[in-house]
Amino acid sequence: MEQIISIVVRNQPGVLMRVAGMFSRRGYNIDSLAVGTTQNPEFSRMTVTMEADEPTVVQVCKQLAKLVEVEKVKVLPPKSSATRSMVLVKVHAGPKRMELLQLAEVFRAHAVDVTGESLTFVATGDEGKLKAFVDVLRPYGVTEMVQTGLVALERGDTTLGVEESRFQWPNGEKKTI
């Protein structure tokens, strides 16, 4: 079962390596990973997806909570979370340029680069929509593609915000561990 884990961490060098290292040391596979700063620049939010059963995800959360830089960990309920990914796809356009542009409109994708014989599209949405978009473009000749990891927020008024760290950090100094 796909699990979405939201992790709020201190925004400092090495945190991503420590979190990813925790997964690899214990033999857990990360299916998707996205990291970005939060409304408070002292903290970043990681969204990790993994295939795991309930006991495994509970164990992962306990292990993550032991890391000093991790402030909060929460498993997001898939049915009550807003989730999105993004894909950039470069396609050989040739004489089918207008056909490709019309096709992209169906998926609410936008051309972000139109040069020579190629078109580059950006699309956002859930995994199914993005896969369908790429599958429709494949017969035209996908020459390059990249997809982001999943980002997610729980729907409603529930938040995973952190106003201040659960630890006392020296002012102006970065804690290294």
What average pLDDT does range 77-82 have in this prediction? 87
Give exposure, 3-20, as e/b (b: 16+ Cβ within 10 Å): bbbbbbbbbeeebeeebe
> How does residue 177 score in pLDDT terms, banded at 50, 70 and 90?
very low
pTM as predicted:
0.80
Round to whole Å and give the CA distance between 111 and 135.
17
Alpha carbon separation from 28 to 25, 45, 62, 77 (Å, rounded): 8, 20, 14, 20
What average pLDDT does range 46-58 have in this prediction? 93
**125-140 tens-digit pLDDT:** 998 999 999 999 999 9
What average pLDDT does range 1-14 have in this prediction? 92
Which residues have a Cβ under 8 Å from the Cβ of 78 and sit 6 or more positions away? 2, 4
